[in-house]
Structure 1
């Protein structure tokens, strides 16, 4: 049954039939359906779900849906949700909730849980400590395979993953890892120590590592989970691939927003007030507006050239647009290459040389086409056509140099490379293009 059919059952109040259909649906699909209905009906439908499904659906809700549910359910219902949620999901929820909702969650948590929650919330924002989970299987290196498998059977149902087990000593120092595959294919009397991958060969993250660094580790090695340790190499948690996929989506969204000259936000578009959206946009627009005054100043400075040959003004938009587009092409490729690890700071000279050669080819091609267009379609003189074509060539070269280098410079300065894209590149290139254009025109045309 599709979403429209489910919504019709809700509208027709056929709750018995609705409950039967919901049980067979994927929790993600249920969450999407419930996003289409009002808060009161959402709570009504949520309470129809079996407890195990309700917890899964809750973890897939948007922040606003979770806020509504936590505010509306009884303490008993909330206790069940918290008991069944994986710890990292609970932390994610708490970080996004207002103070009154957080207080309700903490009041319904055990003393040990509150201690762990407070510890997690002290980690730096966007660090690996904030996205890790404590739901993992740990083993002692002196266990036999039989003992290890019995331990996994005993605790595995409450863990987020059992495919990789973590070997620690009595002080929780990480000593190695062993996969479930190795355990189930080994003799029962073999010792875990002899089967594990030693810690020197284990890829792990530190609790204070930025989540982007951890995402790069997942991309590089293709693991399903990576252990997280503190500065004493004590195992504090693990990060699973599903959590890092959420991080990658957040980082990609943030980059898109920065490239569009907006302050990053994780709030859903339709759930964000117009004042918040305006606040996120206006800062960069003000910066770019001030930057655009430089362009106006350049035009005013060369007003005598424009007054003596008005036809030059007709080609200004084309030069500025082509320069901006050329710069955006290069910056987008470099930013994406840096995000995937294909381009690093040490590659700066390779990038510069490659983009220079590309810009020469593109600039010559566009210049030649533009020259004949100016002569045969625009009907301007040969001197003007040459001036515009040379300027076009120079603009493309400058734009591609700037577009390729500025993201790398930003990275060197510990800034997000995404801010050196789109509108910022365009504003910079516009000013440079005009300076080159009027300088060449004054020399070529004797103005």
Structure 2
């Protein structure tokens, strides 16, 4: 039977050991000795009904230590994890990496055992998914080909679209600076702090987005955890922001002899920037997941571009208030 290439059915194997519920332990061990040598694994044996429906499983260890006259029905475990043949294979891979399974059975719509998926079967999926996420986080369109097998043109083609998007997006930043040029004309020193402020915002947002994207990818968090994640990143942002702004305030006063208003302005901007960046780093990947986009696209490059624009508005807005412009 043919299964969709992205389904659990496409990666399962039929090389497993099946047992009947009315067999004794002795009969089961004899069966394993006779047929187990060609199977994928024998550490876990699956119990089927006469209609091949999955009933439970029993480990080889349990069989070895059990009474030889005991029935499989009496010693099997019925609380087991299984997947459907139509389930997404990436969900299967997440289950393996999150819970450390050795093998998981696969059933059809009638709950008949069709095969098993082992950890070895999903290793390539885990690696491919991680590679794809890394590419997207670096604003590169993923490719199925190996790096050395791709021509320079192929590599450039995968990178140019996102570079164009980010370049065009960056024009918004220059537009904001132009709009508030009247502030810079009166306080030229403010321009020297722009790189530090935007870099701090980008770095803060990238930290949060990287952690959240990875947690989503591994299934550690989902949309149901959105509020908790956002609130936690807010608290992290407050702590980091207070520390960074305090250090910066002292640095400006001691080493640059900057005006106290300027020092306060820059430090307050950093506090607001870090908090906002942490929040955006958490919210944007969750939003992408909510609208069925890959959260990895909301990674460092894109988030940094968005944060740069927002941070500059905050910076110049605070400047107009604190400096009375």
* TM-score in same-fold range (> 0.5): yes
Superposed CA deviations along residues 354-382 of structure 1, whole A, max 9, x for unmatched, are: 22222222222222222233334334322
Do the aligned partners of residues 221 and 388 (structure 1) sit closer, same or farther apart at CA in structure 2, a change above 3 Å counting? closer
Superposed CA deviations along residues 393-447 of structure 1, whole A, max 9, x for unmatched, are: 1111110111122222222222222222211110111000111111111222233
Question: Which residue does 2:277 correspond to in 1?
Answer: 399
Question: Which residue does 2:109 correspond to in 1?
Answer: 231
Residue 284 of structure 2 contacts residue 298 of structure 2 at CA under 8 Å; is this kept in 1? yes
Q: How does 1:216-295 map to 2 (within 5 A)?
A: 216-295=94-173
Q: How many residues align?
A: 325
Please give the alpha-carbon distance, in whole angstroms, between the structure 1 residues aligned to 2:5 and 2:84. 12
Question: Which residue does 2:213 correspond to in 1?
Answer: 335
User: Which 5+ residue runs of structure 2 have no aligned equivalent?
Assistant: none
Please give the alpha-carbon distance, in whole angstroms, between the structure 1 residues aligned to 2:246 and 2:59. 62
Please give the alpha-carbon distance, in whole angstroms, between the structure 2 residues aligned to 1:363 and 1:425. 18
Please give the alpha-carbon distance, in whole angstroms, between the structure 2 residues aligned to 1:277 and 1:230. 41
Residue 124 of structure 1 contacts residue 208 of structure 1 at CA under 8 Å; is this kept in 2? no
**Matching of residue 158 in structure 1 with residue 38 in structure 2:** yes
**Matching of residue 123 in structure 1 with residue 4 in structure 2:** yes
User: Which 5+ residue runs of structure 1 have no aligned equivalent?
Assistant: 1-115
**Matching of residue 171 in structure 1 with residue 51 in structure 2:** yes
Please give the alpha-carbon distance, in whole angstroms, between the structure 2 residues aligned to 1:154 and 1:165. 14
**Matching of residue 440 in structure 1 with residue 322 in structure 2:** no
Superposed CA deviations along residues 258-307 of structure 1, whole A, max 9, x for unmatched, are: 21111223432222222222222222222212211211211121122222
Instruction: Provide the secondary structure at the position in 2 that maps to 1:197.
Output: coil
Residue 4 of structure 2 contacts residue 10 of structure 2 at CA under 8 Å; is this kept in 1? yes
Question: Which residue does 1:80 correspond to in 2?
Answer: none
Question: Which residue does 2:242 correspond to in 1?
Answer: 364
| CA RMSD, Structure 1 to Structure 2 (Å) | 2.1
Residue 128 of structure 1 contacts residue 206 of structure 1 at CA under 8 Å; is this kept in 2? yes
**Matching of residue 373 in structure 1 with residue 251 in structure 2:** yes
Normalised TM-score (structure 2)? 0.91
- Offset of 1:162 from its aligned partner? 1.3
Please give the alpha-carbon distance, in whole angstroms, between the structure 1 residues aligned to 2:305 and 2:162. 12
Do the aligned partners of residues 181 and 302 (structure 1) sit closer, same or farther apart at CA in structure 2, a change above 3 Å counting? same
Question: Which residue does 2:201 correspond to in 1?
Answer: 323
By relative contact order (CA 8 Å, sep 6+), the higher-ranking structure is 2
- Offset of 1:332 from its aligned partner? 1.8
Do the aligned partners of residues 439 and 172 (structure 1) sit closer, same or farther apart at CA in structure 2, a change above 3 Å counting? same
- Offset of 1:221 from its aligned partner? 4.1
Please give the alpha-carbon distance, in whole angstroms, between the structure 2 residues aligned to 1:226 and 1:312. 60
Instruction: Provide the secondary structure at the position in 2 that maps to 1:208.
Output: coil
- Offset of 1:321 from its aligned partner? 0.2
Question: Which residue does 2:300 correspond to in 1?
Answer: 422
- Offset of 1:317 from its aligned partner? 0.7
Residue 123 of structure 1 contacts residue 207 of structure 1 at CA under 8 Å; is this kept in 2? no
Instruction: Provide the secondary structure at the position in 2 that maps to 1:270.
Output: helix
